[in-house]
Structure 1
Amino acid sequence: MTIIVTGGAGFLGARLIAALLADGADRIVSLDRVACPVDDARVTSLIGSIDDPAAVAQAFQGGADIVYHLAAVLSGQSEQDFDTGLHINVDATRLILEECRKQARPPRFVFTSSLAVFGGEMPDIVPPTMVLMPQSSYGCGKAIGELLVSEYSRKGFVDGLTVRLPTICVRPGAPNSAASSFVSGIIREPVAGQASECPVPLDTRLWISSPGVAVDNLVRAGRIPADDLGLSRVMDMPGITATPAQMLDSLEKLVGAGARARVALTRDPRIEAIVCSWPGAFDVTRARALGFGADSDFDAILRQFLADR
């Protein structure tokens, strides 16, 4: 079985590749702008951009049974650079789908979308039938991508599944261009003894998943039989609802008051306009019935991060 992972050199992509290898994958192709950090003879690391037809064609040279499309321009950069955001998040997604269309057998196509496809007035718990109303360029691009995956699935070009991931927390490493980067930053930096800022109100509801659970759910998304998916090829992934205040309570309890004191509340209207338009809870009954998992609470997420450091 050959699996292609776009964005395979990134934090989530590299973890997914490691999990797929542990699950018995025969051959994995990573396509990213830098080399994949996973050192394994079964991994082919291609350095290139997902908007380059030659690079995409090279990734598919050995065929594809499953394609995980993770690569994207993140929310902050998409908002600042409209053209690049739509080009990578929409045009390049269609380029990859067209390459899938050339395959002898339609591959399973797992597209990672975002809760940023929602906006406007929403109920406390968002149902699976909620109308999309993105309030950011990133959310718009992801919504278009969802429709493309559903249409290519309807036509039989791919066996697609869009998974809307929660905000992943806690991400190691440096902050990135995502508007949600602070969600990890208000934990990661204080644990490392560094100052951090929370740019949104402390009572903002956030839909969160640990990296481990998110990766397990992505592996599951590649395996689940098409007959179990039915007509709808879009699914909100399970998560937990947590506010920055609750996250900081956990930080104080598990790390100490000194760590919490390193976080300053510094409102940023630009970040607030994006993040506060996102829903804070979802009805994930269907996903849970299909075997997708969730963390128990934020204490468990923080304990996982502390254990992995």
Structure 2
Amino acid sequence: MHVLITGAAGFLGQRLTRTLLERGEVNGKVLTRLTLIDQVAPVPPSDDTVRLDCRAMDITRPGALDSLLGERPEAIYHLAAVVSAAAEADLDLGMTVNFDATRSLLEGCRAAGLAETRLIMASSVAVYGGELPDTLDDMTALTPQSSYGTQKAMCELLINDYSRRGLVDGCVLRLPTIVVRPGKPNAAASSFASSILREPLNGEAAVCPVPTDLDLFVMSPGRVIDALLHAATLPGEALAPYRSVMLPGLTVSVAAMLEVLREVGGEEALARVSHEPDPRIEAIVASWPARFETRRAERLGFAGDRDFHEIVRTFIAEQTAS
């Protein structure tokens, strides 16, 4: 089986690559080729059983992916994106990467006749915003309050329509805020949600830019990877008529996250977190809803984390193992 990943050098792309190589199969088919695309050529783990094709490529260039799509990948993970705060700061960049490149990818699939190729795109809770009901579900109207959310919402609608027309077999996963991400903070507005745990547990200072009573909808990296892999196994008829699925995250306040930090890391870890309000970050993150009814995702076989303690303890275990 040939799998193509855009944004493969990013955090999710790297973790998905490692997991695919470890498992060696997708939806019961042996993984024979893995094509990894990003602005900088991804450097995957060595593997003697899978043909690895790593390319530096600007997917915003018209037709950039056409030659690869002509080689008929059977699954495409579209993870390339400009994250929330960066998309808000630079409208042209966000539109070019988040929307225009996605439309070009869909058109490339259409031209190559990839009607049976499963196209899996990572979306976000940012597609919602404004005045909303207390609890949302997959069919709640998309009312984004940021450029990033708007771009993701437009991509969702396009993938749904191309799938309805039989031009591609799409599946959109709306990702909760992912915590705890390893590494360093990025330009995402939600980056603090990992920083206020990761840095203190590593003996470093961190800044919380939002009120502690703010609720977030979160999911661990491992559960997100599980969801991406599971999305490749679902028949199109199980997803129709609407191809977007909100994954089953956890609703947790920033205060509750910090309490888990104290319980796991002690008072010293908690003391490493300072509170410096950032109205820009708060405005973006507070527009994202934090409560979802996710029975549809669960019926489709997607699984969430048991509790926030599990998320933090899994992060610690993974850090120790690495």
TM-score by length of 1: 0.97
Correspondence 1:43-122 to 2 at 5 A: 43-53=52-62, 55-106=64-115, 107-122=117-132
Deviation, structure 1 residue 52: 2.1
Aligned residue runs from structure 1 range 84-233, under 5 A:
84-106=93-115, 107-233=117-243
CA contact (8 A) 1:166 1:239 kept: yes
Q: Which runs of 5+ in 1 are unaligned?
A: none
Q: Deviations over 1:142-175 (max 9, x none)?
A: 0111011011111111001111001111111111
1:35 partnered with 2:41: yes
Cα shift at 1:61: 4.3
Residue in structure 2 matched with residue 3 of structure 1 by the alignment: 3
Structure 1 SS opposite 2:222? helix
Q: Distance between the aligned counterparts of 2:105 and 2:67, measured in 1? A: 11
The CA deviation at 1:54 is 5.2
Do 1:240 and 1:294's aligned partners in 2 also have CA atoms closer than 8 Å?
yes
Instruction: Pick closer, same or farther for the CA change 1:95–1:105 going to 2, 3 Å.
Output: closer
> Partner letter of residue 280 of structure 1?
A
Residue type of the partner of 1:52?
R
SS of the residue corresponding to residue 44 of structure 1 reads: strand
Alignment partners' CA distance in 1, 2:287 and 2:114: 39
Partner Cα distance (1:7, 1:128) in 2: 25
C-alpha distance in structure 2 between counterparts of 1:54 and 1:44, whole Å: 18
CA distance, structure 2, for counterparts of residue 28 and residue 282 of structure 1: 34
Name the structure 2 match of 1:15.
Answer: 15
- 1:265 paired with 2:263, answer no
2:209 and 2:281 in contact (8 A); partners too? yes
AA in 2 matched with 1:146: E
Task: Please give the alpha-carbon distance, in whole angstroms, between the structure 2 residues aligned to 1:211 and 1:30.
Answer: 19
What is the CA–CA distance in structure 1 between the aligned matches of 2:204 and 2:21, rounded to whole Å? 35
- Counterpart in 1 of 2:247? 237
Contact conserved, 1:166 with 1:207, CA < 8 A, in 2?
yes
So what's the TM-score if we normalise by structure 2? 0.93
Contact 1:109–1:160 under 8 Å retained in 2: yes
Q: Which amino acid aligns with 2:216?
A: L
Residue matched to 2:28: none
Aligned residues: 309
- Tell me how far apart the structure 1 counterparts of residues 147 and 43 of structure 2 sit (CA, whole Å): 30
Percent of counterpart pairs with the same letter? 46
Deviation at 1:243, TM superposition (A): 1.1
Name the SS of the counterpart of 2:112 in structure 1: coil
Kept in 1: contact 2:110–2:168 (CA 8 A): yes
Tell me if the contact between 1:31 and 1:59 (Cα under 8 Å) persists in the aligned partners. Answer: no
- What is aligned with 1:278? 288
Residue 232 of structure 1: how far off its partner (Å) = 1.1
Give the secondary-structure state (helix, strand or coil) at the position aligned to 1:180. helix
- 1:266 deviates by 1.1
1:125 to partner: Cα distance:
1.5
C-alpha displacement of 1:8: 0.8
The SS at the match of 1:16 is helix
Following the alignment from structure 1 to structure 2, what is the Cα–Cα distance between the partners of residues 189 and 59? 40
Q: For residues 67 and 204 of structure 1, what CA distance do their matches in structure 2 show?
A: 35
User: Contact between 2:41 and 2:57, CA under 8 Å: does it hold in 1?
Assistant: no
